[in-house]
């Protein structure tokens, strides 16, 4: 399977603990996005990388959240001192800069569901 | 600030019916518009992408149209099937190809057999 891969698929943690999610984009996709989705809502943008550079961050990304893409391939999203309000589905997407039509089409992974008790 | 609205929030139809899902956006300066399908507890599957210069795109029983000037897009599903039951999300990209998508809240479709 060469789609976007996310791990773990589901994480249950206690309030105050740190959690980390990993995203492996489609091979050769240089753009990578993180979104958060709560029940009944559409995905909300968190942050965006082009290669290893973090080009855009939403104000939703508080100082407890940090994302990295150190080698321009996989990315991690860490949440420190989790709160119950962090419970959500965390979605990763990738796209290819410079595809023939420059469509900017995004391809999403299956998501990582976080439950904070 | 770009806002995306999807109407209706939920829709129930009998199998075989043709249906239309609506999406509206407030800023017509979009780069493209993408329709997704999401099954419960799953990620998003891209259905159709319409570039700002295009009027419509078709894939199988799905047809998406775009009217930038009025800030509207529709997703037409022909001959609906129970397997079409899912949440359908509309998202717009503003500015350049690399910018983030802005999503609506989705329309949850239920097709009964």
- What are the helix and strand counts (H, E) for chain A? 0, 11
Contact between B4 and A42 using a beta-carbon 8 Å cutoff:
yes
Q: State how far residue B47 is from chain A, nearest Cα, in angstroms.
A: 10
Instruction: Tell me which chain B residues have a C-beta less than 8 angstroms from the C-beta of A48.
Output: 98-100
Asked if the model's pLDDT at residue A71 lies above 70, the reply is yes
Residue count of chain B, please give it: 113
A104:B32 CB<8 A: yes
Q: Would the CB atoms of A45 and B36 count as touching at under 8 Å? A: no
Distances, alpha carbon B107 to alpha carbons A40, A61, B45, in Å:
10, 27, 15
Residue pLDDT, tens place only, A78-116:
999 999 999 999 999 998 876 555 677 889 999 999 999
The conformation of residue A19, written as its DSSP 8-state character, comes to E
Sequence-distant (≥ 6) Cβ neighbours of residue A25 within 8 angstroms: A4, A32, A73, A74, A75, A92, A94
Mutation to test the B interface, candidates A43, A45, A51, most B Cβ within 10 Å: A43
Closest alpha carbon to B107 in B16, B55, B14, B36:
B36
pLDDT digits (tens, 9 = 90+) for B75-98: 999 999 999 999 999 999 887 756
> CA of B70, closest CA in chain A: separation in Å?
22
DSSP string across B50-108: EETT-SEEEETTEEEEEETTTTEEEEEE-S--GGG-EEEEEEEEESSTTSPEEE---EE
């Amino acid at each position: 399977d060469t789609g976007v891969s996310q791990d773990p698929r589901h994480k249950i943690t206690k309030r105050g603990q740190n959690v980390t999610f990993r995203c492996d984009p489609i091979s050769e996709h240089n753009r990578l996005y993180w979104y958060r989705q709560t029940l009944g809502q559409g995905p909300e943008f968190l942050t965006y990388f082009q290669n290893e550079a973090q080009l855009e961050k939403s104000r939703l990304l508080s100082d407890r959240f940090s994302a990295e893409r150190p080698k321009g391939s996989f990315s991690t999203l860490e949440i420190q001192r989790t709160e119950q309000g962090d419970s959500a589905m965390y979605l990763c997407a990738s796209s290819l800069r410079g595809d023939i039509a420059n469509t900017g089409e995004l391809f999403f992974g299956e998501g990582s569901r976080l439950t904070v008790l | 600030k770009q806002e995306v609205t999807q109407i209706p929030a939920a829709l129930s139809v009998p199998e075989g019916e043709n249906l239309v899902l609506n999406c509206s956006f407030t800023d017509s300066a979009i780069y493209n518009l993408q329709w997704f399908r999401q099954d419960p507890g799953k990620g998003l599957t891209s259905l159709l992408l319409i570039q700002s210069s295009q009027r419509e795109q078709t894939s199988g029983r799905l047809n998406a149209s775009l009217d930038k000037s009025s800030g509207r897009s529709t997703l037409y599903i022909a001959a609906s099937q129970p397997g079409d039951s899912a949440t359908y999300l509309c998202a717009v990209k503003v500015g350049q190809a690399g910018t983030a998508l802005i999503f609506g809240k989705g329309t949850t479709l239920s097709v009964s057999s």
